[in-house]
Amino acid sequence: MSNLNVPYSHLSHSSSRSLASSILYDIVNVSPTALHIADRRELIQALLDDLSLLTKGSKDAASSRLTRDDAALALLALKSLGKIPVGSEVIASPNNLSTLVTLANTLKDNTAASNEALRCLANCLLLIDNARMTFVQKQVGGGEAAVEWLVKASAPERVFLVSRILFLCTVSLAASSYIRSLVETKPHGHSEPIVDVVAAKLDMLLYNIQSGDAFAKEAMIDLLKMHTSDDQNKVLGDYWSERLDGLLPPLLKLFNTLPPSAPAPLLPPITHVIHSLITIPVTPSLRPIWFSGQSKTEPPSRSSKSSSPTGTPGPSTSSSPKDSKPGAFDRALSRLSAGRRSLSRSSSPQPPPVYDNLQHGYDLLDAVLSHYLPGDIDPDEASVRERCRKEADSSLDDIVSPLVLLVTKLCSSDETSKKRLRRWILPDDLDRTSPLEGRADLLGRCLRLLGCVHHPRLKDAAGEMLYAVCDSDASTLASYVGYGNVAGFLFNKGIMSAPPRTATSAAAPATTTSGVPIDPITGTAQKEHEPLDMTDEEKEREAEKLFVLFDRLERNGALPPNQNPIRKAIQEGKLG
């Protein structure tokens, strides 16, 4: 076992800086198993004590083994020692957390050292759950400090580190009081609320991503994590209030303008943008923002639109309605309208951008499903799961379901959006000469997903999207795509048999555009049945087979007696 405590303890403020650097590098490079737990704890505390002295007066700093020039390397050594929980447990004490907060502030002119202090904090908060609540308490003051760091951060790396800290502080179920304070109060000494700060940073990071700057994607991902949620924890998006409305405009801008990802069309940070949008409700105040970019006229058929699935709709020049009293999203729109106006020669005011969010969501969904389910491939093919793991290290459920939910949300919240989406997925001139579930388009892929086994969440999400498109009416859905394609989905909704056509399903076609009746089971055009070329003996044998089959279904309870067609035929005297 290595013991680095001895050489470090022999250092003094007057020691050769090359010697100090050599010892600190030895600490950085030491193997995690090369130090006893007690030695690791002692060395961590010694480093923190010496770093703390650097934040005090010159007399105290002179008693430290380190100088300010050693701070970055010493903090790197501290981070290395704290990469395992037994080390971070020492850092997690209130005094030591407070020391790191102070170091991040006092060493602000030494970017490398200040960022290393933030890394030490982020690592500790990741490994030690209790440290997250300790960090935001008044004794440490980390909560207020983190917001201040975010306000002042101008480099993607800094935004990334601060966002990681803020995310870890808000991810706990016990963090509700801190989340409320973030939303309801303005950062100390600043006139803008935290929502406006986040919106400004997202806009800045979009520019950084488009410029290819390092840490830009990582910073945006962690900043977005603050108001998304998982199955166990609730964060900013789950405590929604009107004060958060200002997040919607920048998120929609990101959704529509982030550069395409590779090798797959749906990778972070766009996936995190989608998760964030799902948490935002369609309230009366936000409705003009959600739907400001869509056409007010009846949309044309998708067949007349561009076939490129990844094209990004350009912003419209029409302005959206504004409330009489400026709110959170009005301030966000104003900021987005200004954008990077300082980079432009023109000083004339520009209208805020508006986007056709439904069309972009549809195009993106079409592109993603075409990518992972090319042609008419069965969604349960092993190659589909393998491709998801290889390209996105995830499952088709996790990759696509949130986007389907977002499109369904837009469709369910607005009548015009529902009609547009129905015309795109189920146009009047839909080719019904072949099985709908075999089509190599969005409709065919959704219908095949309804019968899959390996993607249960996406299966349900696709069914709910089609259900919403069809006015959330079982009869309308069955009329459009055939009962056979949605029988399992409707069964799970408590609908046990084919629903009859009703007044609400009158809009669903009963015939093709050429007047051919549509088969209610398959959703395809009915074909004229050619007479069977069978002898009487062959017909008798087939009838016996049917009788035995339906009798077995009735005895097993799978078929009620009153729905047995053979029994009905006998009762009605149709069979001798």
pLDDT of residue 573: 73
- What would the DSSP string read from start to end of 300-312? PPGGGS---TTPP
Is residue 213 predicted with pLDDT exceeding 90?
yes
Q: Which residue has the higher pLDDT, 266 or 533?
A: 266
For 31, half-sphere exposure in the C-beta direction (CA atoms, 13 angstrom radius) is 4
What whole-number distance in Å separates Cα of residue 187 and Cα of residue 466? 45
Q: Convert the pLDDT of each residue in 251-305 to its tens digit.
A: 999 999 999 998 999 999 999 999 999 989 999 999 999 998 875 444 444 443 3
Q: How confident is the model over 239-262, as a mean pLDDT? A: 90
Q: How confident is the model over 549-565, as a mean pLDDT? A: 76
Q: Convert the pLDDT of each residue in 305-317 to its tens digit.
A: 333 333 333 333 3
**What residues have CB less than 8 Å from 199, skipping those under 6 apart?**
246, 247, 249, 250, 332, 335
CA atoms 559, 561, 563, 567: torsion sign: positive
pLDDT of residue 532: 65
233-242, 425-434, 534-543 — which is least confidently predicted? 233-242
3-state percent helix, strand, coil for the chain, nearest multiple of 5 = 60, 0, 40
Q: How confident is the model over 477-502, as a mean pLDDT? A: 88
User: Predicted confidence band at 454 (pLDDT cuts at 50, 70, 90)?
Assistant: very high
**What residues have CB less than 8 Å from 399, skipping those under 6 apart?**
264, 266, 271, 368, 372, 388, 392
Cα angle value 309/311/317 (rounded, 5°)? 135
Query: Is-contact 331 242, C-beta < 8 A?
Result: no
Average pLDDT of every residue of the chain: 85
Q: Convert the pLDDT of each residue in 142-198 to its tens digit.
A: 999 999 999 999 999 999 999 999 999 988 766 778 888 888 877 766 778 889 999
**What residues have CB less than 8 Å from 511, skipping those under 6 apart?**
517, 518
Query: Is-contact 216 205, C-beta < 8 A?
Result: yes
Report the share of the chain in percent with pLDDT over 90: 62
Q: How confident is the model over 53-68, as a mean pLDDT? A: 88
Is residue 530 predicted with pLDDT exceeding 70?
no
pLDDT of residue 347: 47
Is residue 400 predicted with pLDDT exceeding 80?
yes
Q: How confident is the model over 493-514, as a mean pLDDT? A: 78
User: Predicted confidence band at 324 (pLDDT cuts at 50, 70, 90)?
Assistant: very low
**Bond from prior residue into 259 cis (ω within 30 degrees of 0):** no
Beta bridge partners of 525: 518
- pTM of the entire predicted model: 0.80
Q: Convert the pLDDT of each residue in 97-122 to its tens digit.
A: 999 999 999 998 999 999 999 999 99
Q: Which of 228, 276, 279 is nearest to 251 (CA)?
A: 276
pLDDT of residue 309: 37
Q: Which of 163, 81, 93, 167 is nearest to 120 (CA)?
A: 81
